[in-house]
Structure 1
Amino acid sequence: MLHPLTLYRADPFALLRRFGETLDRMPFGTSAPAFPPLNLWQNEAAVAIVAEVPGVAPEDIEITAKDDVLTITGQRRPPDMPEGAVWHRRERAFGRFTRIVRLPFAVDPSQVEARFANGVLTIALQRPEDQRPRRIEIKAG
Structure 2
Amino acid sequence: MLNPMTLYPADPFALLRRVSEALNRASFSTAAPVFPAVNVWQNDEAAAIIAEVPGVEPQDIDISVKDDVLTIAGERRAPDLPEGASWQRRERAFGRFSRAIRLPFRVDSDLVEARFADGVLRIAVRRPEADRPRRIEIKAG
Q: TM-score range by the shorter chain?
A: 0.7 to 0.9
Which letter maps to 1:96? R
**Pairing 1:64-83 to 2, within 5 Å after superposition:** 64-83=64-83
Q: For residues 34-53 of structure 1, what are the alpha-carbon distances to aligned partners after superposition, in whole Å with 9 as ceiling and x for unaligned?
A: 10001000011110000000
Q: Return the letter of the residue paired with 2:25.
A: M
Note closer, same or farther for the CA distance 1:107–1:119 as it changes in structure 2 (3 Å cut).
same
Q: Equivalent residue of 1:75, what SS?
A: strand
Unaligned residue ranges in structure 2 (runs of 5+): 1-9
Q: CA deviation at 1:124?
A: 0.6
- The count of residues paired between Structure 1 and Structure 2 equals 129
What residue is the counterpart of 1:55 in the other structure?
55
CA shift for structure 1 position 30: 7.8
Partner of 2:90: 90
**Cα distance in 2 between the residues matched to 1:44 and 1:30:** 40
Match of 1:4 in 2: none
Instruction: Give, in whole Å, the separation in 2 of the partners of 1:58 and 1:134.
Output: 37
- Offset of residue 25 of structure 1: 4.2
Matches within 5 A, 1:98-137: 98-137=98-137
- Which deviates the most, 21-30 or 121-130? 21-30
**3-state DSSP of counterpart to 2:89:** coil
Deviations 1:88-140 (A, max 9, x none): 11111111101111111111111110000010000011111111100101112
Task: Give the TM-score taking structure 1 as reference length.
Answer: 0.81
Report the secondary structure of 2:136's partner residue: coil
2:21 match: 22
2:42 counterpart residue number: 42
Structure 1 gaps of 5+ residues are 1-9
Seq. identity, %? 66
CA distance in 2, matches of 1:140, 1:124: 40
Report the 3-state secondary structure (helix = DSSP H, G, I; strand = E; otherwise coil) of the residue aligned with 1:26: helix
Shift of 1:31: 3.5
- 3-state SS, counterpart of residue 130 of structure 2: helix
CA RMSD of aligned residues (A): 2.2
Between 106-115 and 19-28, the greater mean CA deviation after superposition: 19-28
SS in 2 for 1:105: coil
TM-score normalised to the size of structure 2?
A: 0.81
Alpha-carbon separation, structure 1, partners of 2:96 and 2:133: 38
